[in-house]
């Protein structure tokens, strides 16, 4: 019996020793992380809103982490291809996902049988960066000058207007669906691989309108190549003070803006998650970054991992309701 007890104690000490070593190893890895370049996967084409935002913060994030941060565009499926790639990547912090929150959540809600991941189970939320207002923009050669003109035209010509979107579950598509519901109009859609491709086709005259991020559409509106009819924000934007908000135009339900987040694969350690989140917070607090982002029209709104996780759960329920109202869910 003594021998058996001694053996059990020995095994117990071995197990405790193993746990202690693994804890030290985890802490050591977190302290060392990162030791090489990080791939930041953006699941949309270059030039779109999500791609543009993460290119704005990439350099400062790289300085904060003291390693290169590479933007890797993995397009397709309205963001599903790139998101799926990260979900299946090694959870070591070197492959991360830069996403827009609603566009990240919606594909699972709309096509639950075909999306190869579960947003709330297969990923690790890291941090929320910022919001960005959207502009409803149209080709300047079209006859309407205001949102009222567009709505009146759409009602008289059902199905004639063609809107460009980044995919069925993406942010600009949902806002366009909300616009249709709120105004009782019939607008058709064409999906592209990202906001950059949408803009190219709008400028080329292949589609008539879209909701576009402020940073992407601003230079074209200023140059007269696009016309802005409304802005999705609580108040008018200083840079476009003449453009009314959707709330002012009587359609306050059309209000979902871009919300930029950093996501990792499931299994990302708390130590690495915290280090990334802490670095992002410091980067966003720097005067250089704040001035740069504010100048571009972004509204900095940092949230750490646990708060982002709660936000994602609430938004998942909210967007499920939106998708049901728009009739988008494909059973």
Write the secondary structure of 180-209 as one string of H (helix), E (strand) and C (coil).
HHHHCCCCEEEECCCHHHHHHHHHCCCCCE
Mean pLDDT of 252-260: 88
Q: Do 43 and 95 fall into the same domain?
A: yes
CATH of the domain at 198: 3.40.190.10
Whether pLDDT at 127 is above 60 = yes
Residue ending a domain, choose from 190, 208, 240: 240
Whether pLDDT at 95 is above 90 = yes
For residue 77, what are the domain limits?
33-133+257-326
Q: Do 141 and 100 fall into the same domain?
A: no
Give the rounded percent of residues in the chain with a pLDDT score beyond 70. Answer: 91
Q: How far apart are CA 262 and CA 282, in angstroms?
A: 15
Give the rounded percent of residues in the chain with a pLDDT score beyond 90. Answer: 65
Residue ending a domain, choose from 210, 240, 270: 240
Mean pLDDT of 255-271: 95
Q: Do 107 and 124 fall into the same domain?
A: yes
Q: Which two tokens stand for residue 307?
A: 């708060």
Q: Helix and strand tally (H, E) in the chain? A: 11, 11
Whether pLDDT at 140 is above 90 = yes
**77 falls within a domain:** yes
**1 falls within a domain:** no
Q: Do 93 and 140 fall into the same domain?
A: no
Q: Do 155 and 203 fall into the same domain?
A: yes
Whether pLDDT at 32 is above 60 = yes
CATH of the domain at 294: 3.40.190.150
Count of domains in the chain?
2
Q: What is the 8-class DSSP label of residue 238?
A: G
**23 falls within a domain:** no
* pLDDT score for 24: 46
Q: How far apart are CA 32 and CA 298, in angstroms?
A: 32
278 with 272: CB under 8 angstroms? no
Residue ending a domain, choose from 205, 240, 275: 240
Mean pLDDT of 137-149: 95
Mean pLDDT of 112-119: 94
Whether pLDDT at 168 is above 60 = yes
* pLDDT score for 256: 82
Q: Do 156 and 125 fall into the same domain?
A: no
Least-confidence region, from 14-18, 99-103, 228-232: 14-18
**24 falls within a domain:** no
Rounded to the nearest integer, the mean pLDDT of the chain is 89
Q: How far apart are CA 65 and CA 258, in angstroms?
A: 25
Q: Do 86 and 126 fall into the same domain?
A: yes
Helix crossing, 305-326 with 171-183: angle to 10°? 40
250 with 8: CB under 8 angstroms? no
Residue 106, CA atoms < 13 Å, CB-side half-sphere: 26
Q: Do 98 and 59 fall into the same domain?
A: yes
Tens of pLDDT along 239-249?
Answer: 889 999 999 99
Sheet with 38-42, strands from edge to edge, namely: 69-73, 38-42, 95-100, 258-265, 123-132, 299-303
Q: Do 129 and 269 fall into the same domain?
A: yes
Q: Do 271 and 303 fall into the same domain?
A: yes
Whether pLDDT at 106 is above 70 = yes
Q: Do 267 and 169 fall into the same domain?
A: no
Mean pLDDT of 90-119: 95
């Amino acid at each position: 019996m003594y021998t058996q007890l001694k053996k059990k104690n020995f095994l117990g000490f071995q197990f405790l020793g193993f746990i202690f070593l693994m804890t030290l190893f985890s802490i050591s890895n977190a302290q060392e992380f990162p030791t090489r370049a990080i791939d930041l996967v953006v699941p949309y084409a270059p030039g779109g809103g999500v791609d543009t935002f993460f290119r704005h913060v990439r350099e400062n994030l790289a300085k904060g982490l003291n390693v290169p941060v590479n933007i890797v565009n993995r397009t397709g499926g309205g963001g599903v291809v790139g998101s799926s790639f990260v979900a299946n990547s090694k959870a070591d912090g070197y492959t991360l996902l830069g996403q827009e929150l609603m566009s990240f959540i919606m594909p699972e809600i709309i096509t639950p049988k075909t999306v190869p991941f579960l947003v709330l189970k297969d990923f690790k939320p890291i941090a929320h960066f910022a919001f960005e207002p959207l502009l409803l923009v149209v080709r300047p050669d079209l006859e309407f000058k205001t949102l009222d003109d567009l709505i009146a035209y759409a009602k008289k010509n059902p199905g004639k207007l063609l809107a460009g979107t980044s995919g069925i579950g993406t942010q600009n598509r949902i806002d366009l669906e909300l616009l249709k519901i709120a105004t009782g109009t019939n607008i058709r859609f064409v999906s592209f691989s990202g906001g950059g491709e949408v803009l190219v086709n709008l400028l080329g005259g292949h589609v008539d309108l879209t909701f576009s991020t402020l940073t992407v559409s601003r230079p074209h509106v200023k140059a007269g190549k696009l016309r802005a009819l409304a802005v999705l924000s609580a108040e008018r934007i200083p840079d476009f003070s003449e453009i009314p908000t959707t709330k002012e135009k009587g359609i306050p339900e059309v209000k979902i803006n871009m919300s930029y987040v950093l996501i990792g694969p499931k299994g990302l350690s708390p130590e690495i998650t915290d280090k990334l989140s802490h670095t992002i917070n410091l980067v966003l607090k720097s005067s250089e970054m704040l001035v740069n982002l504010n100048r571009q029209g972004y509204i900095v709104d940092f949230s750490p991992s646990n708060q982002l996780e709660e936000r994602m759960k609430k938004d998942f329920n909210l967007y499920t309701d939106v998708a049901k109202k728009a009739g988008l869910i494909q059973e």
